Chains A and B, each alone.
Chain A
Amino acid sequence: MRTDALSEILSDLNSSSGDIEASAIVSRDGLIMASLLPSNVEEDRVAAMSAALLALGERSGKEVDRGALDQIMITGQNGFMLVRDAGEEAVLTVLAKKDAKLGLVFLDISRAAKDIAKIL
């Protein structure tokens, strides 16, 4: 039931904007909870990396006194990877196109993360 609800959030997120190519929800210890990732992406690795990025981001932010972590953004030649805290239990990872309108993407991700946190 919760899995269906989480998958629905990802479907809504991916369809909310043509700029979002893929997304996944993973646990803090790197397990996939729900995903809409391309077939060429290894889910288990992306899940572990997302949890690791969030943990390292939180640790780094704390060390340099930047306050609570908002999100992590990786910028590559082919687009963006965004990782966001989705409550105490989960991490939301999103892949966006290189010419994405980031303001809208950030807003959609923020809303989705709040919805995930409510469900979990």
Chain B
Amino acid sequence: MTTLVDIMNNVFQAMPENTRFSESDAQKIQENSTVLLDLGDGLISGFYNTVFSHTATASVFEDNERPMREKSLTDWWKRTVNGPFSDEYWAWQTYVGLLHIKRGVSNPMMMSMWSWILDYLNKELVQAGLSETETNALVMSFQRLSSTTSSLIGDSVFRFYLEALINATGFKSSLLERMVKNEIDQLLQDNAQYRLT
């Protein structure tokens, strides 16, 4: 059985250390917590304006759900800016993968909105008075947070999707792996025309 902690550990092991969120990234966010918290309201409203103005992302939500979702994102922003980046924090991010399966939030939706957050910070931190160097350094820390969180959520979606299939069918995970291995060469062949080299 796949556990949330297994997924977390596998993701951290898979990511080269300098691509992962680090202690110094956490420290940089803490040092700028005042300005970051001040950006919170704009970030939350801009985020959901973007999500609700696009058909595919808007379709994830039910009527009148926006205030509840804004509250969740506000809580996440405050917790992220205030820290700490403990095991509980990363477990929470991994748990989000399960929620995304339940709600039909795809990985492209999640990753594109992370990109939106980084763009927003890049623009607004300069407006808020940070130098270009300070802004770049802080956005790089958020970039590593984005990579780490996206990896946790993306892998959580994939692993728990398989886990649900394993539970429903009684297949061993090694059997699923074998079935994929049996079929992958055919799929590569079927799609070979898309190779550029």
The yes or no answer to A48 lying at the interface (CB within 8 A) is yes
Interface of B is mostly: helix
Chain A residues in 8 Å Cβ range of B178 = 29-31, 44, 47-48, 51
Interface of A is mostly: helix
**Chain B residues packing against A (C-beta within 8 Å):** 168-172, 174-175, 177-179, 182
Give the 8 A-B CB pairs with smallest separation, nearest first. A59-B170, A29-B174, A55-B170, A30-B178, A29-B175, A30-B175, A48-B179, A55-B171
**Chain A residues packing against B (C-beta within 8 Å):** 28-31, 44-45, 47-48, 51-52, 55-56, 58-59, 62
Instruction: Name B171's closest neighbour in chain A (CB-CB).
Output: A55
Best-buried of B168, B169, B175, B179 by chain A (most CB within 10 Å): B175
Chain A residues in 8 Å Cβ range of B171 = 51-52, 55-56
Instruction: Name B183's closest neighbour in chain A (CB-CB).
Output: A45
Beta-carbon contact of B170 and A48 below 8 Å? no
Beta-carbon contact of A48 and B169 below 8 Å? no
* Measured CA separation A59–B169 after assembly (Å): 6
Chain A residues in 8 Å Cβ range of B174 = 29-30
* Measured CA separation A51–B174 after assembly (Å): 11
The smallest beta-carbon distance between B186 and chain A, in angstroms, is 10
Chain A residues in 8 Å Cβ range of B175 = 28-30, 48, 51-52, 55
Beta-carbon contact of A56 and B182 below 8 Å? no
The smallest beta-carbon distance between A3 and chain B, in angstroms, is 19
A–B pairs, 29, beta carbons within 8 Å: A28-B175, A29-B174, A29-B175, A29-B177, A29-B178, A30-B174, A30-B175, A30-B178, A31-B178, A44-B178, A44-B182, A45-B182, A47-B178, A48-B175, A51-B172, A51-B178, A52-B169, A52-B175, A52-B179, A55-B171, A55-B172, A55-B175, A56-B169, A56-B170, A56-B171, A58-B170, A59-B168, A59-B170, A62-B170
